[in-house]
């Protein structure tokens, strides 16, 4: 089988799957269970000044019967005593020396606090640090978490403090609660961070109770903006990851990908976009630690099928396939085709196209059912009919160039060509 072992900044693990800094990595009991299940590493839940969490803390967005499409929390960093966390970290490393142990940190906003915390954690034998510049609630009010990650100058200053003291690899975790992660990413790379991780949670409100009129989760009739994660944020995470992978400064360091990773396919997508490993949280909170078995087996099988020997054979392979809209080939075209043998005559494609798209599907009334076919001359290849069709491979998009040569929008304008009806 393919070799899925990983080496992130010299931190070795038997696979590229780490548990993200979150409730599943808050104590020895959880972490040992995760290692026994097969996880390659963990990022221990953020350590810092003593905090007190509230109750309740979590809420979720369900969609069409699927539970926890998106997950929201208002939980803070670890509320357990620092000395207990440090003792348990050391014990987990002793029991599983082949697994990655990275510790998330969020010290008070002064150099001395960072230096003191770094020294204490390094004494445990931890393999690396992850600087939490992303927490969007609770800690921001104290000038920490996302309040640091949203300001490149402050983030750079803190990383410089850390690099003065740290003797093990430093990973800086970026907040998505910005227009672009690149300015802060570039600043912390220039300050010396060894790696990056992204994304942290997105500030959100997941819903409002229509009886009490209070958003979830609630605490004594009040709520606050929480951190959103889970499968719903994956597209946003991939976008931010791509911008980091394409920037000439930030792509100098390895990136740990986070945000909606639930399956081996998700992991591969993040790694194709430039991540050297991935971190998982919401999926294990919903399904448990045993999902690691399917994740490892699935990645192994896919790599064998594609002929990849190690994960480094495909990391970043998809980065350059994202370009600017102006560079897309406007002579490249698709036409939808409906497989009549697979069609169940539900009419969803017709409704979607007729009401909201380009009226490019024929409706032929019949007995016992209606039939649908594509008007080739009117089809713009938008994909809508394929997306709403409930039957796999019933509607396919067939290539049909409108001209043999490549032409982008800039070329199109220079030639002064007339716009078509579409």
pLDDT at 218 over 90: no
Q: What is the pLDDT of residue 359?
A: 96
Give the model confidence (pLDDT) of 246-304 as tens digits: 999 999 999 999 999 999 999 999 999 999 999 999 999 999 999 999 999 999 999 99
What DSSP assignment string belongs to 71-106?
EEE---S--S-HHHHHHHHHHHHHH-TTSEEEEEEE
pLDDT at 144 over 90: no
In contact, 395 and 336? CB cutoff 8 Å: yes
CA–CA separation, 6 and 13 (whole Å): 5
Average pLDDT for 302-330: 96
Q: What is the pLDDT of residue 421?
A: 46
Lowest mean pLDDT among 56-70, 138-152, 190-204: 138-152
Q: What is the pLDDT of residue 138?
A: 45
Where along the chain do its domains lie? 6-321, 328-414
* Stronger pLDDT, 96 or 413, i.e. the higher one: 96
Class of CATH domain 6-321: alpha beta
Q: Give percent of the chain with pLDDT exceeding 90.
A: 79
Q: pLDDT-based confidence at 422, cuts 50/70/90?
A: very low
Equal fold, 6-321 vs 328-414 = no
Confidence (pTM): 0.92
Average pLDDT for 369-389: 96
In contact, 217 and 74? CB cutoff 8 Å: yes
pLDDT at 333 over 50: yes
Lowest mean pLDDT among 6-20, 197-211, 302-316: 197-211
Report DSSP state, residue 128: E
CA–CA separation, 270 and 236 (whole Å): 11
Active-site choice (92, 135, 281, 343): 135
Q: What is the pLDDT of residue 175?
A: 93
Distance of CA 217 to the CA centre of its chain: 23
C-alpha triplet 65, 390, 359: angle, nearest 5°? 120
Average pLDDT for 323-343: 95
Q: What is the pLDDT of residue 415?
A: 81
Catalytic site includes residue 135 = yes
Q: What is the pLDDT of residue 278?
A: 98
Token output for 208: 């409002």
Token output for 86: 């440090």
Q: What is the pLDDT of residue 149?
A: 78
Across the chain, mean pLDDT equals: 93
In DSSP terms, 255 is beta-bridged to 196, 275
pLDDT at 145 over 70: no
Token output for 359: 């009226």
pLDDT at 340 over 60: yes
**Multiple choice CATH, 328-414, 3.30.70.20, 3.30.2000.10, 2.60.40.10, 3.40.109.10:** 3.30.70.20
Q: What is the pLDDT of residue 225?
A: 86
Q: What is the pLDDT of residue 18?
A: 98
- β-bridge pairing 255-258 and 275-280: parallel
End-to-end C-alpha distance for the chain, whole angstroms: 49
C-alpha dist (Å) from residue 334 to 40, 331, 337: 43, 10, 10
CA–CA separation, 85 and 77 (whole Å): 12
| Residue 66, phi then psi, degrees to nearest 5 | -95, 120
- β-bridge pairing 361-364 and 371-374: antiparallel
């Amino acid at each position: 089988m393919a070799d899925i072992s990983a080496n992130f900044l010299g931190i070795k693990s038997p696979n590229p799957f780490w548990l993200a800094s979150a409730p599943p990595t808050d104590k020895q009991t959880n972490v040992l269970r995760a290692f026994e299940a097969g996880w390659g590493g963990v990022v221990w839940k953020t350590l810092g000044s003593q905090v007190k969490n509230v109750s309740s803390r979590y809420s979720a967005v369900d969609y069409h019967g699927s539970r926890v499409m998106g997950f929201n929390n208002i939980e803070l960093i670890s509320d357990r005593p620092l000395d207990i966390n440090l003792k348990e970290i050391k014990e987990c490393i002793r029991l599983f020396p082949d697994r990655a142990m990275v510790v998330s940190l969020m010290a008070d906003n002064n150099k001395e606090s960072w230096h003191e915390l770094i020294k204490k954690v390094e004494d445990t034998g931890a393999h690396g640090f992850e600087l939490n510049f992303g927490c969007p609630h609770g800690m921001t009010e104290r000038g920490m978490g996302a309040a640091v990650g949203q300001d490149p100058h402050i983030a750079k200053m803190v990383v410089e403090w850390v690099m003065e003291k740290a003797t093990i690899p430093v990973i800086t975790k970026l907040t998505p609660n910005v227009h672009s992660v690149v300015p802060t990413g570039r600043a912390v790379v220039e300050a010396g961070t060894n790696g990056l991780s992204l994304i942290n949670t997105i500030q959100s409100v997941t819903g409002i109770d229509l009886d009490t009129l209070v958003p979830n989760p609630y605490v004594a009739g009040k709520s606050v903006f929480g951190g959103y994660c889970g499968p719903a944020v994956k597209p946003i995470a991939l976008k931010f990851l791509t911008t980091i992978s394409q920037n000439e400064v930030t792509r100098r360091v390895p990136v740990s990908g986070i945000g909606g990773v639930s399956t081996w396919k998700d992991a591969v997508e993040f790694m194709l976009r430039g991540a050297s490993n991935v971190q998982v949280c919401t999926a294990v909170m919903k399904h448990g630690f045993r999902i690691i078995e399917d994740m490892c087996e699935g990645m192994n099988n896919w790599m064998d099928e594609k002929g990849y020997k190690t994960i480094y054979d495909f990391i970043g392979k998809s980065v350059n396939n994202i370009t600017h809209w102006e560079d897309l080939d406007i002579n490249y075209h698709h036409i939808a085709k409906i497989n009549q043998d697979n069609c169940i005559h539900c009419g969803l494609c017709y409704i979607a196209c007729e009401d909201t798209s380009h009226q490019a599907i024929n409706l032929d009334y019949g007995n016992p059912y209606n039939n649908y076919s594509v008007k080739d001359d009117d089809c713009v290849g938008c994909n809508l009919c394929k997306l709403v069709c409930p039957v796999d491979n019933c509607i396919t998009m067939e290539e049909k160039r409108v001209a043999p040569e490549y032409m982008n929008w800039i070329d199109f304008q220079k030639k002064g060509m007339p716009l078509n009806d579409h």
